[in-house]
Structure 1
Amino acid sequence: MKKVYNLLFILHVFVGVGAMAGGSMAILNPIEPGGVPTDALKNSPFTNFLIPGIILFMVIGLGNILSAVTMHFKSKYQGYISSTFSWALVIWIIVQCIMLRSIVHLHVIFFIIGLVQAFLSTLILFKQQLFPTNSILKVITNLESKFPENSVLKKIVKLENKFYK
Structure 2
Amino acid sequence: MRGSGHRLLRFFLNVSAWFNLLSAMVGAVGLVAFEGMGIPAQWLNGTPFDSFLWPGLLLGVVVGGTQALALFALHGHFRLAPGMSVAAGLVMMTWIFAEIAMMLVWSPLHGVFFASGLAQVVVGVLALGAWPSPLLARDRL
TM-score (norm 1): 0.73
Matching residue of 2:121:
118
Which protein has the bigger helix share? Answer: 1
Cα separation, partners in 2 of 1:36 and 1:6, compared to 1, 3 Å: same
Which one of 48, 53, 57 corresponds to residue 50 of structure 1?
53
* Runs of 4+ with >4 A deviation: none
Gaps of 5+ in 1: 127-132, 138-155
- Please point out which of 29, 37, 49 is paired with 2:40: 37
List runs of 5+ in structure 2 lacking aligned partners.
1-5
Structure with greater Cα Rg: 1
Amino acid aligned to 1:159: L
**Structure 1 residue 124: deviation in Å?**
1.7
In 2, Cα distance between equivalents of 1:160 and 1:69: 35
Match of 2:30 in 1: 25
Count of aligned positions: 132
State the AA in 2 paired with 1:3: L
1:158 paired with 2:141, answer no
Task: Kindly provide the CA deviation profile for residues 120-147 of structure 1, in whole angstroms up to 9, marking residues without a partner as x.
Answer: 1111222xxxxxx7xxx9xxxxxxxxxx
Give distance in 2, aligned partners of 1:4 and 1:101: 35
SS at match of 2:78: coil
Find the aligned partners of 2:96 and 2:136 in 1 and give their Cα distance.
32
Deviations 1:25-52 (A, max 9, x none): 22224xx321113211002111111111
Q: Higher relative contact order at CA 8 Å, sep ≥6: structure 1 or structure 2?
A: 2
Aligned-pair Cα RMSD in Å = 1.9
TM-score of the superposition, structure 2-length normalised? 0.85
Q: CA deviation at 1:159?
A: 1.9
Aligned letter for 2:12? L
Cα offset, 1:160, TM superposition: 8.5
Identical counterparts, % of pairs: 26
